[in-house]
Amino acid sequence: MTILKDPIVKKSRSAEVRAQLDYPVIDTDIHTNEFSPLIEDYIAQYGGAKIVDLFREHLTNNGLNVLAAEWYKATPQERFDKRLFRPPFWALPAQNSYDLATVSLPALLHERLEELGTDFAVLYPNISLFPINSSNEDLRRTLTRAVNHYHADIYRPYADRLTPIAAIPLHTPEEGIEELEYAVNTLGLKTALIPGAIRRPVKSIAEKYPEDAELRRYAYWLDFFGIDSEHNYDPFWKKSIELGINLSTHSGSQSWVARNSPSNYMFNHINHFADASEALAKALFFGGVTERFPKLRVALLEAGAAWGSNVLTHLVDRFEKRGNEHVQQYNPANIDRQLIIDLYHKYGAELFKGREYSDDQIIESVFGVASSFRYREQNPHEINDFALAKIEKIEDIYDRWVPNFYFGNEADDRTIVGALNPKANPFGKKVNALYSSDSGHWDVPELTEPLAESYDLVREGAITEQDFKALVFDNPYRFYTENNPDFFKGTQVEQKLKKNQAA
């Protein structure tokens, strides 16, 4: 029998940082592992033995990731012939077994949270991404309920410091509403994870080749729930606000066209969360979702904050050139026809080579052969790309972007420096960065280091003390309480704030 000895716990750098702060630290992204024998009990409760067997089959054959399973089953040559992307591997801390157990055992995580320098953490169970992305409706609906119920139960005793997300599928808005209401009203969960996109078959190809499953694997498009969506998701956004639930996404873009290396995981991985989050955020912005629902709050996790300020910058400069009536400066109908003709006759002798050209030939050639298709006449109702977002002035862009989106920033991501530099951002503002340690994944080999790593940026002069406070407290607190003022009721955050107020 092995005698378990308590590990020698030294006061961590992160705990030392926390000790000098007069505000709570909120970690918006810790990943946890489930205990499979127990979670199968919950699956059986909702789906019976049939779904349990289907779940086990997926574990055996796919590891819950169909695309990853294909790669492992294929030969090296088949991986290149089929362009099967190299999936993630060795994604969890292993050598640091104490940390691995910590993110697997709720009681241990709760006990160690202060050692991590954290007062309160929002948990993202690793299994939660699978059910909401499954195309099998029976499996998806059953696992969603089971996974949410399991995590609600096992973390309920530790609600003063830990809260798990509710995984919410969005294959249709009706499904999303049903699962959100159940998670909130029945299970008592108070924040939710949605998929970053849904893969849908290209209709014309699916109809032409209905039996070709392999073709459907490649002939898909991504529905980002906003612009050009197959469904109207407004009822879902409305319901989430009514329930006081702010949303988050934790989806990536590995296996997308530019991230499809059969041989190199890092090629596929670097910035893939940012690419996926950018697509979702732009879809909600250009689809007018953030205009119609100004109270909607979405956290885009594990992607850093730099891309948020980058897109904001480009939204502004694009609008200044192509928004509303600005786009008319590129309308071929607005060229000065006579000026073009006169200039060609005055300066174009070397092009004419002594030949005669009609005025129409000159005008037709002025846009160049390569760009001629770009100057076709357009439907006047389809030329303002900012119309659905109802952008009339550049300040509207700020109102439709900055309040709605929060950007999860890992401790070792130094690109946050640009996102928090008001001199480099439009409007002289900063985007809403969230402290998201990503603990429980391979990029955090030591659970006790992330907060200290973030504070190192203060020590180095890269960010200010005020920036750090906004990162680890102000922004997370505002994100979770704007639509639910009682989010932190009964937690260590509430206690610490009351203690500070009384001091």
Quick one: pLDDT at residue 7? 55
- pLDDT score, position 108: 98
Given a contact cutoff of 8 angstroms between Cβ atoms, the answer to whether 255 and 268 are in contact is yes
Domain membership of residue 265 as a residue range: 23-322+406-502
Q: Whole-angstrom Cα distance, residue 246 to residue 483?
A: 7
Tens of pLDDT, residue by residue over 147-202, are 999 999 999 999 999 999 999 999 999 999 999 999 999 999 999 999 999 999 99
Mean pLDDT over each residue of the chain, to the nearest integer: 94
- pLDDT band with cut points at 50, 70 and 90 for residue 81: very high
Among candidate residues 382, 398, 418, the one where a domain is terminated: 382
Can you read off the two tokens belonging to residue 229? 């969506």
What is the pTM for the complete model shown? 0.94
Considering the domain architecture, whether residues 284 and 338 belong to the same structural domain is answered as no
pLDDT in tens, 32-54: 999 999 999 999 999 999 999 98
Three-class SS state of 489: coil
Domain count, the chain: 2
Residue 439 maps to a domain: yes
Tens of pLDDT along 340-399? 999 999 999 999 999 999 999 999 888 887 776 777 889 999 999 999 999 999 999 999
Domain boundary, last residue among 382, 417, 451 = 382
Residues 445, 361 within the same domain: no
Residues 315 and 359 in one domain: no
* pLDDT per residue as tens digits for the range 301-337: 999 999 999 999 999 999 999 999 999 999 999 999 9
Q: Tell me the CA end-to-end span of the chain in Å, nearest whole number.
A: 50
What pLDDT shows up at residue 6? Answer: 54
pLDDT tens digits for 469-485?
Answer: 999 999 999 999 999 99
Mean pLDDT along residues 461-474: 97
Alpha helices, H only, 62-210: 66-73, 76-81, 97-102, 106-112, 129-133, 137-155, 173-181, 203-208
Q: Specify the CATH number for the domain of residue 497.
A: 3.20.20.140
Domain membership of residue 15 (yes or no) is no
pLDDT tens-digit profile of 9-18? Answer: 568 999 999 9
Give the pLDDT confidence of 123-144 residue by residue, as tens digits. Answer: 999 999 889 998 889 999 999 9
Q: Give domain status of residue 13, yes or no.
A: no
* Tokens coding 479: 């994100």
Q: Are residues 365 and 293 in the same domain?
A: no
On whether both 154 and 59 belong to a single domain, the answer is yes
Computed on alpha carbons and rounded to an integer, the radius of gyration of the chain in Å comes to 26
pLDDT digits (tens, 9 = 90+) for 223-270: 999 999 999 999 999 999 999 999 999 999 999 989 999 999 999 999
